[in-house]
Structure 1
Amino acid sequence: MPSIFSLFCCLLLFFSKSIVFAAAPANNSEIDRQTLLCFKSGIYSDPLGILNSWLNTSLNFCHWPGVTCGAGIPIRVVSLDLTGNFISGAIPEELGTLPQLQTLMLASNRLEANCSSLDTLILSRNNLSGEIPAALFSYLPRLGTVDLQINSLSGVVPPFGDSAQGPRQ
C-alpha cells in the first residue's frame, strides 16, 4: 500500500505536468500580445484613439480593436486590421513574429517602414491583386531582385534598383 507521501508526490507530479503543458500555449499567446504592444509603441499619432485600449495591463488582446484571434489553443492573432485610422508611426520588424497572422490590413494610415537596405523582394504565390504600385519601388533604392509570380497583379513592374537609375558605371 502506497504511503501518503508517495501518493502526495504522484499528485504533485501530475498537477505540475498539467500546469507546464497549460502554460506553454499561454506563453505563445503572450508573445503575440507583446508583439502587438511593440507595434503600438512605434505609433506616435493615433488621432482616432483606436489603440487606447491596447494596454500592457490588458491581457485579453483578442478584444482589442483591429485584432482578430483564431479559435485554437493557444490563442493566436490571425488578423490585424487597422485600415483607415490615420495612425502614424513605424511598422516594427517584430510584426513578423506573429506566426498565425493571415491578414494584415494597414491601408489609409501614415505608417513607415525602414526598408532602404532591402535588396530582394519575393512575394510570389500570394493573393496579391491590382496594379503594381510604382511608388513602392522608388522607396527601395537597393532593390535588385523582385519575384511577384503567381499572383493576380496587373500592369508592368516599374523600373527599380539599378535599372531605375540607368546603366551601371
Structure 2
Amino acid sequence: MEKASFFQVLAFLLTSLHLLATCSLAMNISTDQSSLLSLRAHITSDPNHILSTNWSSSISVCNWIGITCGSRHQRVIALTISVSTNSVVKPPEFSHLRRLTDIDLSYNNFTGEIPIGIATLQNLKRFALGYNNKLNGSNVLSIFNTSTLKILDLREAGVTGDLPSDLCRCLRRLQTLTLGYNKLSGEIPRNISECSKLQVLMLFENNFVGTIPSELGTIPDKIGHVHNLKELFIEENKLTGSIPLTLFNISSLEVLYMNDNMLEGLLPRQIGNLTMLAWLTLYNNKLTGVIPDEVGNLQDLSAISLAFNDFSGSIPIVIFNISSLVIIALLGNHISGNLPSTIGKPHFSLPNVEGIFLGGNNINGVIPSSISNLTKLTALELYSNEFMVLFLNLLEI
C-alpha cells in the first residue's frame, strides 16, 4: 500500500510538472506573439499585406511568414522582415523575444532609432539591418554587448560616430562586421585585432581619417593579428600613410579592397604572401615605386587593379602568367617598358582574361600580335602610351 502511495505521489508530481511546463510554454509563446504584434502595429505601410493578413492571433505564431520557432522550446528564434515598409522600428516589447538568435530586417525603409533592446538579446548570433538609410544610428555601435553575436550587418543604416575602441572586447565571437555606406569617422581602432575570429570586415564608404603611426595605424598594424580574416573592405575613406607590413601576415585573405583613399608609399614585396588572394583593388591612391615581382605568387588572382597611382617601372612579366586573371587594370600610372612578346602564347597565356586596361602610361615598343590569342578578351585599352605604329598590324589580325 505504501509502495502504491509512493507511485501515486510520483505520478501526481510528474503530471503537475508537465502542466506547469505546458503553461510556461504557452505563456512564453504568448509573450513572443504579443511582442511581434506590437512590432506589426508600428509598421505603417505593408503594400503586399503580408503582415496584416498573416500575422494574426488566429494563426500560430510559428506559422507566420518570416518567423522561425525552435523545435525544442517552441519559442521564436528567427525573425525576417522585408516588406519595403515605411515604418518606425522601435516597439517597446521587441527585447522580450529572449530566444531570438537571428534578426534580419534588411532592405526596408525603417525610420527612427535602432532599438537598444536588441543589443540585450543574449542568444543573438546575427543582426542584419542593412539598407535602411533613414535610421538614426548615432553612436549605435556602443550599445552592442552580446557575446554570442557572430554577424553584425549595418550597411547603409545611418550609423554615425566613431568605431568604439571596445567593440571587439564586447563581441569576441564576431565573424562578420559590415558597416559600409555610413558616416563613421575617426580612426580604425588599433585593438580591432581583438576580434580574433573576424573573417569579413567591411568599412567602405565612410569617413575614416588619420595617419598611420608606427605603433598603431589608420589601417592598424595590429590588424595583421586577425588571422582568420578573408575579406577586407576599407575603400572610399580618407585613409592616409603607408600600408602596414603586418597586413600581409593574414595569409587567409581572399579579397582586399583599399581603393579610393590617400595611401602612399610602396606596394611591399610581402604582397606575395597572400597566396589565397582573388581580388586586389588599390586604385585611386598615391602608391609609388615598382609593382613587385612577388605579385606573381598570387596564382588564384581574378582581378588586379592598381590604376591611378604613381607606379613606375615595367609590368612584371609574371603577371601575364597568372592563368586565373580576368581583369588587369594598371591605367593612369607612369609604367614604362614593353609588353612581353610572350603574351598570349602557350605557357604564357591568360586563358580567362576579359579586360586589359593599360591606358595613360609610358609603355613603348610594339603590341605583340600574339595578344590576339586571348580568346576571351573583350576590352583592351592602350591609349596614351608610346607604342609604335605597328599597332596597325593588330587590327588586321
Question: Could you say whether these structures have the same fold, taking a TM-score greater than 0.5 normalized by the shorter chain as the test?
Answer: yes
Q: String of CA shifts for 1:37-58, please: whole Å, max 9, x gaps.
A: 1110111110011111211333
CA distance in 2, matches of 1:118, 1:89: 18
Q: Contact 2:55 / 2:64 at 8 angstroms: preserved in 1?
A: yes
Partner of 2:213: none
Give the letter aligned to residue 86 of structure 2.
S
Aligned partner of 2:85 in structure 1 is 87
Higher relative contact order (CA 8 A, sep 6+): 1
Task: State the one-letter code of the partner of 1:67.
Answer: I
> 1:163 maps to what in 2?
none
Change in CA separation of 1:120 and 1:136 when aligned onto 2, cut-off 3 Å: closer
Taking the aligned partners of 2:66 and 2:206, their CA distance within structure 1 comes to 33
1:121 corresponds, among 138, 141, 148, to: 141
Unaligned runs of 5+ in 1: 161-169
* Contact 1:89–1:112, Cα closer than 8 Å, also in 2: yes
Number of the residue aligned with 1:53: 54
2:33 counterpart SS class: helix
**C-alpha offsets along residues 2-58 of structure 1, whole Å, 9 cap, x if unaligned?**
9xxx9xx96995444432232112211111111111110111110011111211333
Post-superposition shift, 1:98? 1.4
Identity %: 26
* Partner of residue 95, structure 2: 96
CA distance change for structure 1 residues 156 and 45 in 2, over 3 Å: closer, same or farther? closer
Aligned-pair CA distance for 1:137:
2.5
Give the aligned partner of residue 203 of structure 2: 155
Q: 1:47 to 1:11 in 2, by over 3 A?
A: same
Instruction: Give the whole-Å Cα distance in 2 for the aligned partners of 1:33 and 1:111.
Output: 21
CA–CA separation in structure 1 for the residues paired with 2:140 and 2:86? 26
User: Is the partner of 2:201 in helix, strand or coil?
Assistant: strand
Residues 80, 103 of structure 1: 8 Å contact kept: yes
Asked if structure 2 preserves the Cα contact closer than 8 Å seen for 1:128 and 1:153, the reply is no
Deviations 1:47-77 (A, max 9, x none): 011111211333x1111111111111x3111
Higher share of residues assigned helix = 1
Structure 1 vs Structure 2 CA RMSD:
3.4
* TM-score w.r.t. length of structure 1: 0.67
Match of 1:166 in 2: none
The CA distance in 1 between the partners of 2:43 and 2:156, in whole Å, is: 26
CA contact (8 A) 1:43 1:87 kept: yes
Secondary structure, counterpart of 1:44 in structure 2: coil
State how far apart, in whole Å, the 1-side matches of 2:138 and 2:157 are. 15
C-alpha separation in 1, matches of 2:104 and 2:69: 15
Equivalent residue letter for 1:19: L
Question: Hey, what's the Cα distance between the residues in 2 that align with 1:86 and 1:120?
Answer: 23
> Structure 2: how far apart are the matches of 1:154 and 1:55?
38
SS of 1:153's equivalent in the other structure is strand
Aligned AA (1:70): G
Could you say what secondary structure the match of 2:74 adopts? coil
Q: What is the alpha-carbon distance in structure 1 between the residues aligned to residue 204 and residue 45 of structure 2?
A: 35
Q: In 2 relative to 1, CA 113–97 (structure 1 residues): closer, same or farther, beyond 3 Å? A: farther
Cα deviations across residues 132-167 of structure 1 (Å, max 9, x unaligned)? Answer: 7466224xxxx566226534222369459xxxxxxx
In the alignment, structure 1 residue 35 sits paired with structure 2 residue 32: no
Asked if 2 retains the 8 angstrom alpha-carbon contact of 1:46 and 1:87, the reply is yes
How far, CA to CA, are the matches of 2:152 and 2:141 in structure 1? 14
1:134 to 1:23, Cα distance in 2 relative to 1, 3 A? closer
- How many residue pairs get aligned? The number is 147
Which amino acid counterpart does residue 45 of structure 1 have in structure 2? Answer: S
Distance 1:64 1:102, change over 3 A: same
One-letter amino acid of the structure 2 residue matched with residue 127 of structure 1: I
Q: Check 1:29–1:94 CA distance in 2 against 1; reply closer, same or farther (3 A cut).
A: same
CA radius of gyration, larger in = 2
1:56 and 1:43 map into 2 onto residues whose CA distance is 17
Query: If the length of structure 2 is used for normalisation, what is the TM-score?
Result: 0.32
CA distance in 1, matches of 2:40, 2:64: 12
